[in-house]
Amino acid sequence: MVDMTNTLEVAHTILEQLGGSRFITMTGARNILGDANSVSFRLPGAGGFCKNGINYVKITPRSFRHLYCTVLSHSRHADQVSRRSVRIYADALRDIFTSVTGLAVSL
């Protein structure tokens, strides 16, 4: 049997670094999927809600030093990544997200 607490720990940590439930409320993130290696979610996509039509985000840890890889794209054009960032520190996740999507993550 798989221990789901440990399996989802990475996804939970990433969401907390983004702002937790406030982040989800501010951005409209939905269909949040987490596993032992990443977290991904969808953003509202109709009517140009996000800059560049971005409506899919995936964040993956890269090392023990709190570095992340982020992929922000339009899900209908999965081969067209709007922004891929590697070696992003945890404290920069919010700024990268806001600059690429145009969505505020806090008041």
Q: How far apart are the first and last CA of the chain?
A: 41
> Does the pLDDT value for residue 40 go beyond 90?
yes
Evaluated on CA atoms 24, 30, 35, 39, the torsion sign reads: negative
Nearest to 55 by CA among 75, 25, 38: 75
List pLDDT tens digits, range 86-104: 788 889 999 999 998 899 8
Any residues with CB less than 8 A from the CB of 99 and at least 6 apart, and which? none
Averaged pLDDT of the chain: 83
State the pLDDT confidence band at 47, using cuts at 50, 70 and 90.
low
- What average pLDDT does range 2-29 have in this prediction? 84
Domain extents in the chain: 4-101
- What average pLDDT does range 32-61 have in this prediction? 86
- What average pLDDT does range 18-45 have in this prediction? 91
